[in-house]
Chains A and B, each alone.
Chain A
Amino acid sequence: MNLAQVIFYILTAITIGSAAFVVLSQHLVRSVFMLFVTLFAVAGLYVFALADFVALTQIVIYVGGVLVLLLFAFLLSSKESLEGMEKIPSGLLSAHRLPGALISVLFLAVLGFIFFQIDFENLNWIKASVANGNVISVSDNTIRNIGINLMSKYLLPLEIVSILLMMVLIGAAHIARKEPKAS
């Protein structure tokens, strides 16, 4: 086992452990801060999947934008939102959580069973891309290719996403403003 695999499995352990903490913690602020750790570790996993640009985007947008927004919203809503949570009995298998735990474990079993069944190395399109040399290797520079593709093949989705972002900006500002004193 070489160094890259060791780092990969350490990142995996950090990801799953902190995600479990996010899900199971009773304390909202702690789980928001553990979500930071989860998102950073998932960005590390993206790097191991040879997608550096997606990892950078994840750090910039998720960690820089989404989590700061979440913290902001949490700190704006007051302590009362936490008080209702104290009454929930903790523990993974209390009566409130047993159906949810059962559903997610069963879903995990289904997904794991499917992933065991499929032989990914022998799928047709993966075999074809390996035969054509269409596989990203570690030393490739993918960001240049992403830029070229974004400006040629995926130009229409890019423009639609930009329009959607503007609509979201206007819509969020409109919903969040104080309602005028109507009669």
Chain B
Amino acid sequence: MIPLQHFLFISAILFCLGLFAVITRKNAIQILMGIELMINASILNLVAFSRFDKVDNTGQMFALFIIVLAAAAVAVALVIIMNLYKRVKSIDPNQSDTLRG
């Protein structure tokens, strides 16, 4: 059996890669992909701990809900990015500064 800590280390590495993408990327679609990596890391954590919960399956259940919510979030975010592209002619989040105070 694979020990629990190995899953946790893999998910920590995935999470940090996603964080790096979110911080440094200049493209909204790549930022979205970084967020997807972070969500996958957290699902891996939930699923790894869910091995010790055979009766209730809480971890796997929440993993399913997270997958569904991430899909919904990606759909809405892509629509917003397309609208932003139509309006600003760029999908760099730094260039859309009409709301800057």
Interface residue tally on A, bucketed by range: 35 or more
Q: Indicate if the CB atoms of A46 and B70 lie closer than 8 Å.
A: no
- Closest residue of chain A to B81 (Cβ to Cβ) is A73
Give which listed residue, A35, A45, A115, A145, contacts B54 with CB less than 8 A. Answer: A145
What is the predominant secondary structure among interface residues of chain B facing chain A? helix
Q: Indicate if the CB atoms of B44 and A42 lie closer than 8 Å.
A: yes
Q: In whole Å, how far is A62's beta carbon from the nearest beta carbon of chain B?
A: 7
Q: A70 in the interface, Cβ–Cβ < 8 Å?
A: yes
Q: Indicate if the CB atoms of B16 and A73 lie closer than 8 Å.
A: no
Q: A69 in the interface, Cβ–Cβ < 8 Å?
A: yes
Per-position binary interface string of chain B over residues 59-101, scored 1 when its CB falls under 8 Å from any chain A CB and 0 otherwise: 1110111011111101110111111010001111000000000
8 A Cβ contacts from A54-75 to B = 54, 57-58, 61-62, 65-66, 69-70, 72-74
Known: A120-B4, A175-B80. 20 other contacts (CB 8 A): A31-B30, A39-B40, A46-B44, A53-B64, A58-B67, A70-B29, A73-B29, A73-B82, A84-B26, A104-B19, A107-B19, A108-B12, A108-B16, A115-B8, A125-B52, A134-B55, A142-B60, A168-B75, A168-B76, A176-B79
Q: Indicate if the CB atoms of A76 and B27 lie closer than 8 Å.
A: no
Bound complex: CA A15 to CA B41 (Å): 11
- Closest residue of chain B to A123 (Cβ to Cβ) is B52
What is the predominant secondary structure among interface residues of chain A facing chain B? helix
Q: Indicate if the CB atoms of A129 and B63 lie closer than 8 Å.
A: no
Bound complex: CA A132 to CA B57 (Å): 15
Q: Indicate if the CB atoms of A61 and B52 lie closer than 8 Å.
A: no
Q: A112 in the interface, Cβ–Cβ < 8 Å?
A: yes
List 24 A-B pairs, Cβ < 8 Å. A16-B14, A23-B18, A23-B34, A38-B37, A46-B47, A49-B2, A49-B7, A50-B51, A51-B47, A54-B64, A58-B67, A69-B78, A77-B29, A81-B90, A81-B91, A120-B4, A125-B52, A134-B53, A136-B50, A142-B54, A146-B60, A157-B61, A164-B72, A175-B83
Q: In whole Å, how far is A87's beta carbon from the nearest beta carbon of chain B?
A: 9
Give which listed residue, B36, B56, B67, contacts A149 with CB less than 8 A. Answer: B56
Interface residue tally on B, bucketed by range: 35 or more
Supposing A19-B17, A145-B57, A146-B57 touch, asked if A54 and B12 sit within 8 A by C-beta, the answer is no
Shortest beta-carbon contacts, A-B, top 4: A100-B23, A100-B24, A111-B12, A104-B20
Give which listed residue, B5, B14, B27, contacts A19 with CB less than 8 A. Answer: B14
- Closest residue of chain A to B23 (Cβ to Cβ) is A100
- Closest residue of chain A to B13 (Cβ to Cβ) is A16
Q: Indicate if the CB atoms of B51 and A54 lie closer than 8 Å.
A: no
